[in-house]
Structure 1
């Protein structure tokens, strides 16, 4: 029996996906007990070496995030953090959480959880300054994994959602429903996630030969505080807005409603994340759902692989797919648009 068996070999032998094999051997959700035992039995029979969850070492995992993203109660990153806590607890590991203030980054004050030596590894949720990340990497020789952010200037592993493809699909969704006048709402230098989503939007426009307009790119936040703030609407209004996140989408809806516009009758909106809860409006925003649980689990497992020095088959950047969730914020104007075009050709 060959001794370089890979997960794909086990998957092929059982006629299942490599993801199912990975989930089963790592003790993750999404696999029935019956299938898990079958995979484990096959792995042993084929000579694949892995560690049972019960025999895995217990670690203390640091989790840090900028206070800009979590300081004001409920947020997307709080939910991501709780998914991390839940999974790490299931794996028998403890979590040490710390918020990083903007002054800490600016003055290069390292996290106490690291300087105290309490952490075996670190997961960084969201964006931190590049120089601050580099200082942590040089100062502490422990595994560091970025979650919902990536940095091309470093070799740190990262787990991200498919922001580029996701926003491409959301913009395509609007185009298929007759919209060609589409604005993008998001501060494109705010994070790598927003930048990726912006490029996905641009790609969809390019494919359909729709002109890009600078006046239809709207900032959505204060980069110092992280507060969602949409200052001004365009002088010439589009028929639809593609928002980089659901919080922005609902803030835009509030602003549009205040100006007398109706969503979706007058203006259509799509969001991203499938996170924000609709408390103030009778309609939900059509959005791209990010798999927060899978992102959290992937980041944690990447940390464990590094701590246990297990040879892995993963790329440095792991991209977690999502899906479109249709709600009530988009009006199909394709029939109207085609009728309008036929009139103009007469």
Structure 2
């Protein structure tokens, strides 16, 4: 078995790191799978001396293995795990203070917008929401007190792409940090740290776990000082995952490269088919040449995921479409091996005001697909029969 030190695994292939990074056989039994250290505290041999662990909010060996694994997959030095993606984002916000300014992409997950607009803003931190697919828009929003620019790419659900290297250049010239929510892409398809980002964030619930059986989040960084500050906040605020959830993700990342290849293939095939359907007015998928940022996506991504957004034209058409599926399941979330379908305006993005949703094209007719890894012909047949009722 490979050792768990980052420098011993970073030169290996993605699939090898997915299976081995951050982990080693249990030193007591030789068990190949990392144990679930289901404990809240650790016995100390004597006062003032411990075995590296004191209390489980601060340290847990299962969590440490997961953090090492996810850091390696993102090509980063440090990983920090949290109880949810929003807990990770909330902890990132605690790096900043009253009077600071943050620029955020306008088309982010609705829970991120709610956290920023209704919670963090009450603490004296000001937010500007811009179209992050335009580096000029990011540049125009920067202020002397801007400390962070936070973007999703691809965006949820409109599939907009941020030019990460160009954004990083602009943001760093202003003395700010760039954080990238990489949830939609997964580290298999995109490596924001290598493209210039300072922080990469995931809702681990989605592609990284991929089995719809836990909720979690992660932050990955290279900078030692940022890591130390985030590690302090992780312990101080305590939004950490339990060891069983960490173990579930460690099980899942071992097949991430295999799963993502299947998600990518199914997503592209279904997106191409959807463009030929007269009842679908528009398809948003960066893997299509018709996507306005297809060339940019192809430069900074190696696959385009299983996420597809379509415009059906009306709320009634969207309702009939999502209610008519049989293999796709109507549910919130994404990134699992099973295919899901959802209506962002009433589900994941309901917390965003209607006028803001409409301004960025997120109409009541928008439907979001998370294409799983079932047989693609079965998925297409399911969508075809659902569209017949529209």
TM-score (norm 2): 0.34
Structure showing greater Rg? 1
More helix by share: 1
